[in-house]
Structure 1
């Protein structure tokens, strides 16, 4: 039975059963369900909000922050961060000021140096994982735990400036915060409390880092202070009249916010991109050949971003409708939305919208970036998109440069979430040593 037929067969008064069926299909057959919705009911009202599945409508929701706000998760995020952050706000009072500042701290000019940093850290992690496996008499290692998660954390330490914060703390604490804010849809009090506590621990750890770095910057030999994102923030003086002063608390909220948006997402992308390529042997072979091209990495990067189109780390994002709005006006799916409506903008569905995207189910690494929403869209698109475009493809590229380091044959799809929302384990073969 198709999803909509089964859903409509449940009485409208039985909201609990309808929601249970919806979540079951999202978990076990999400792409098929979204395809059905795009065709039959592209703006789909449910007890937990309105699902928006066509690309023009998703773009409309994400590009209209004065109507569709981040009020669904914004207050929870700020509670977890113990202060304001741009991702939790809309409008000029904080969001655009902090976003402009963040873009200066995370500029396009960072692409090449961050790529080189990622290559160095990734090669070192691979050397360690292979050596550890061989010393233990193993022929495999855990790609997530021994490569993706630690590399992401080490990049955060060196690039963002989380100096002397243990990498395991960066990974585990950021995961608890992200889970409480973006995954805990039912606002389970235990998960919420764990996220708030993790955010407080991160805040206090970073406060110590900021104090030590600020003291070092004012002492003799200050020229040796690392030129990382935190260092830039501490050296920055904003002109008068540009919002809140850039004091230590604001720097803390920004830096921890960057981590929350980076750590889990980078580790997950490195895992899911490799998995998607490994399940397509011909595409994997082409990507392997392109990985060896040092002069121009753009063709290789296209394979990674196309792989992630099939498995985006953020498949949908919720928005709160704060005033009456007609969505998709003038089309057969025109829908009037009232204030208080939660709207789920399904980017994973939009990227497969047959009415916009040519051959959406074909693997095409040369697609126009307009049809790839992996890094978001609109007012809250990924503010760290420039370093992200360096880090994620390079993590995958360093793996493909290693002969014999590949997902376990026959288990290419066996990405294990271990009962969590995030990939936890992925077995790969421990092939040759350092690249030539």
Structure 2
């Protein structure tokens, strides 16, 4: 379909029809629409916002948080969290101060230990899925969802909170602030209610941790495993620690840090940050497992090589296959910004465009990562591309604050699947992600590796 010809044929004042066609195109063949926009209309003004599709232009937007702010979704996110948060703000008052705080508690040096934790959790969840005895299982519901949540319990410190609550609340929260373009009041209210539930449960965990630190009766600060990270078990491990042992999960660090009083970083701020980290992690990690496996499965040669590298235990080489797979299906294909002052985008180029103040700007990651003028043969599956060509974890002031943990959790969750050769999407069903009426993949059927009909 010639998307632009069809779009231009609709009268300019028929906004509903233009918006409908745009959304249909994004669902039916987003890659084809983006390819045409990059070639013919790289800065594309529509009733829903200005689509920015070229790689350098996307980076320009995301490099100027003073001009292109998070004002599109920031207020909704703070409604959901009930407090300010780094992703919902720009500037020194909250964003830069708390981004620095996030880099301290979500430390880069955690990566090897987080990978080890992820491997242990993932293997246990896969064992449970296969042990049910069926010929198939749901890679999302039976594996990715619980594995991601248990890693969050062990690393972030959500001890004592059931994994289903962690997943269900964050789904409602992310739906409300990130994928609710019509601002449906019911979706928003559900997200706010979920945020309040998660806040209250985390407040209980914080209170128990404080009691334990004071030496008063309590459930303890969380089991510490051998590498210093909180252990994760089944359905949300209860807090508890051996005498004299201190958990080093993220929450424990947050409770140990003492900041000047003027920062007002009390337990409510700790709560909001911890819940915010989870909200930016749980759904995305769950989705990435399924989409990465899907993108490898539709490329048998790449899948075979990824399996070989997984078995060899070379994380750097294996991880490159996962990040390249996610380039083809990023969990955030488009990120919105609010232009607060007139800005000349791509100045000095043929596509130079003035973006008026108050415009919604849609920075298209899923297009930028296929920009033919920046990437060599972008349609080819090529692990090991330069880091700047992969925007899966974002770019600029609001890139993923937990990127060091994410950089090992996501590929390791996929690696544990590929280490079991019998676990594969069903023939002909490699692309069959079922969203079940939500914005997030909910089901992806894979074989369990058991002989057909063998339930023993």
TM-score of the aligned structures, taking structure 1 as reference length: 0.96
Gaps of 5+ in 2: 217-241, 452-456
Question: Does the Cα contact within 8 Å between 1:402 and 1:432 map onto a contact in 2?
Answer: no
Q: Give the Cα separation in 1 of the matches to 2:432 and 2:197.
A: 33
Q: Give the Cα separation in 2 of the matches to 1:225 and 1:112.
A: 19
Question: Does the Cα contact within 8 Å between 1:216 and 1:222 map onto a contact in 2?
Answer: no
Write out the 4+ residue segments of structure 1 that deviate beyond 6 Å after TM superposition: none
Question: Does the Cα contact within 8 Å between 2:174 and 2:279 map onto a contact in 1?
Answer: yes
CA offset at residue 245 of structure 1?
2.8
Q: Deviations over 1:286-331 (max 9, x none)?
A: 000000122x310000000000000000001000000111111111
Gaps of 5+ in 1: none
Question: Does the Cα contact within 8 Å between 2:170 and 2:278 map onto a contact in 1?
Answer: yes
Where does residue 101 of structure 2 map in the other structure?
A: 101
The reply on whether 1:282 has 2:301 as its aligned counterpart is: yes
TM-score of the aligned structures, taking structure 2 as reference length: 0.92
CA offset at residue 237 of structure 1?
1.1
The reply on whether 1:362 has 2:380 as its aligned counterpart is: yes
Residue 93 of structure 1: SS of its match in structure 2?
Answer: helix
Where does residue 265 of structure 1 map in the other structure?
A: 284
Where does residue 430 of structure 1 map in the other structure?
A: 448
Q: Give the Cα separation in 1 of the matches to 2:283 and 2:215.
A: 35
Q: Deviations over 1:229-267 (max 9, x none)?
A: 0000000112x38x6232100000100000000000000
**Equivalent of residue 233 in structure 1, options 254, 277, 293:** 254
CA offset at residue 403 of structure 1?
2.6
Q: Give the Cα separation in 2 of the matches to 1:21 and 1:214.
A: 54
**Equivalent of residue 297 in structure 1, options 309, 315, 324:** 315
CA shift in 2, pair 1:222/1:12, >3 Å: farther
CA offset at residue 338 of structure 1?
1.5
- The number of aligned residues is 426
The reply on whether 1:409 has 2:427 as its aligned counterpart is: yes
CA offset at residue 416 of structure 1?
1.0
- RMSD, matched Cα: 1.2
The reply on whether 1:30 has 2:38 as its aligned counterpart is: no
Matches within 5 A, 1:308-327: 308-327=326-345
Question: Does the Cα contact within 8 Å between 2:135 and 2:450 map onto a contact in 1?
Answer: no
Q: Deviations over 1:176-202 (max 9, x none)?
A: 000000000010111111111111111
Where does residue 119 of structure 1 map in the other structure?
A: 119
Question: Does the Cα contact within 8 Å between 2:85 and 2:276 map onto a contact in 1?
Answer: yes
Where does residue 220 of structure 2 map in the other structure?
A: none
Question: Does the Cα contact within 8 Å between 1:216 and 1:225 map onto a contact in 2?
Answer: no
